[in-house]
Amino acid sequence: DLVYTHSTAVVDGKASWIDSMRSGRVRYRRVAPSERRVRLYGDTALVTGRAAVDVEVGGEAKQLKLAYLVAWIRTPQGWKFAAWQATPIPA
């Protein structure tokens, strides 16, 4: 049930997101999170923050500065990554 919304507004599900990394189409070189804040609401954790990301997409190197929101859901099997939403931070 993963919904992964990139800073470009492209949306991936779990299978397509994992495939993008396994295939080498997307290679995360460095992720430096900052200003991380976690808020718990019952069995849901919302994580907000900023990140500097060095990524290679289709062979093209990109340096991104993002604000993000991540949703995690507590299940009987443990915490599950449910959603990601990223927004570019203007220079």
Write the pLDDT tens digit of every residue in 30-51: 999 999 999 999 999 999 999 9
Both tokens of 83, joined, read 């959603």
Structure tokens at 23: 């295939």
- Compute CA distances 29 → 53, 57, 63, 64, whole Å: 8, 11, 10, 11
CA torsion through residues 58, 62, 67, 68, sign: positive
What is each CA distance from 4 to 7, 21, 42, 82, 83, in whole angstroms? 10, 13, 22, 8, 6
Q: Is the pTM of this model over 0.85?
A: yes
Q: How confident is the model at residue 77 (pLDDT cuts 50, 70, 90)?
A: very high
pLDDT(91) > 90: no
